[in-house]
Amino acid sequence: MARSERGVSVLFVVMVLLVVAGAALAILALSRTTADVARSGETTARLEKVQAALEQFAATSERLPCPANPAADTGDAAPNAASATCTYPAGSVPWRTIGLRQDDALDAWGWKISYRVYSGAIGLTQAAGASMVHCDTVEPSPAGRDPATGLCRVPPAAGGHNTSEAQFLAGKGLSVSSFGTASTDVAYVLVSHGPSGLGAYTTAGAQKAPNPASTDELANLGATGPFIAKAAVTDVAPESAAFFDDVIAFRRLPDFVKRANLGARDWPESGGGGTLANITFDQATVSAAVGSSVSTGSSTGQASITFTGGATVTGFDSGGTQNVSFETQGGYQGIGGAAGGTMMISSLTAEGLRFQLPAKARQLAVTFANFGRRVGNVREQVEFKFFDGAAVVNTIVGEGCRNEGDPTDDIATFSIDAAADFDRVDVKALPATTDASETAFLFVQFMTCVAGVTCETSLSVPSNRC
């Protein structure tokens, strides 16, 4: 009897141990599952943060950055400038270039997030490569995109502002298969190589070996895809050809352009569609209006000049009228005042230009060269005074918002709703803010429009609007 009881006791203990072991394994499995779910959620959040930073970068740069060198940890795009050719097309997120921290460019398992972007001759990493701001949403006779760059045509090119959205987008983008749905117009792809990390780079710049045996995971290591998103397969070894644990995020090009506020617009047609006056003060246009050839850095010899379309421009200063000048600043041609030494419009003698219009307008758009802000946040100022007949209907003061003298920011554009109809506007230089130093600028473009249309000069882009 005692022996039998001992046998029962041993069996009972074994059963208890088995139950405890099973419970422990279940708890461990549950813990791992919970941890994996948490890390997957964290990785998704980091991918979304990188997407937002890429779109913010594009909103101000009108392009996407190239990937960073995955074997280095500078966080800089390579090259760190506009370029159709990226040095490391199968690189990682350029976290410093897009204004993120290093940790933001790692997934929850500590691997670098890979970044692929549509680049090349008509790609998104060239200057203005991601921008449709010069495309037209309502264009009866589209001329097609620039054949060399794939960009919207910009004046003075033939067919400027005459490229449709569809023409800009045609044939552009990376290919992605997302849970069986194929897209061929993807702007960029972000790849987390999952818990296994096969093929991913560490912060030390080493690539985890071996490369995946899975053809889908190998595709996600490539530079051009097609990239794959699908349900995870983790019930086999990571080295198995069936294994898959990548997580990807991407944005289709049409959606990306809208999110970056770089979409096309309904550009007013010259002489109609809401545009009343539209003058670019280049040498040919000014010479034609003056009636003889004008030279850079000189007076036109006339105080009033009437341009095609009927708009008359008159120079003035604190002493009365002055001759209009023709000058070049930062590669941009334009008109100014001839009384001062700079041949620009200067605040030292309250110089300005008066624009008398043949028809009443509601909106004004202008582009200035050499107008901006200086060290210490000193900002140049300009006054726009609107008239209806002899009555002043509004006065608006604008300040420089770009760094004056910076070759990449050497022009400034304004789009102003006068809040009332006007047939004349006086544009005058005011002393700069803070220290009342000289404001001096050149008038490059001038446009007036009726109410309710987009009124922006051809040089107006997000990076130079004030």
pLDDT tens column, 416-431: 999 999 989 999 999 9
| CATH for 275-464 (2.60.120, 1.10.3470, 3.40.50, 3.30.160) | 2.60.120
Q: Where in the chain do CATH 2.60.120 domains reside?
A: 275-464
Greater confidence (4 vs 322) lies with 322
pLDDT for residue 389 is more than 60: yes
pLDDT for residue 22 is more than 70: no
pLDDT for residue 406 is more than 70: no
pLDDT for residue 23 is more than 60: no
Per-residue H/E/C for the chain: CHHHHHHHHHHHHHHHHHHHHHHHHHHHHHHHHHHHHHHHHHHHHHHHHHHHHHHHHHHHHCCCCCCECCCCCCCCECCCCCCCCCCCCCCECCCCCCCCCHHHHECCCCCECEEEECCCCCCCCCCCCCCCCCCECCCCCCCCCCCCCCCCCCCCCCCCCCCCHHHHHCCCCEEEEECCEEEEEEEEEEEECCCCCCCCECCCCCECCCCCCCHHHHHHHCCCCCEEECCCECCCCCCCCCCECCEEEEEEHHHHHHHCCCCCECCCCCCCCCEEEEEECCHHHHHHHHCCCCCCCEECCCCEEECCCCCEEEEEECCEEECEEEEEECCEEEEEECCCCCCCEECCCCCEEEEEEEEEEEEEEEEEECCCEEHHHEECEEEEEEEECCEEEEEEEEECCCECCCHHHCEEEEEEEEEEEEEEEEEEEECCCCCCCCCEEEEEEEEEECCCCCCCCCCCCHHHEC
Q: pLDDT tens across 77-122, in order?
A: 999 999 999 999 999 999 999 999 999 999 999 999 999 999 999 9
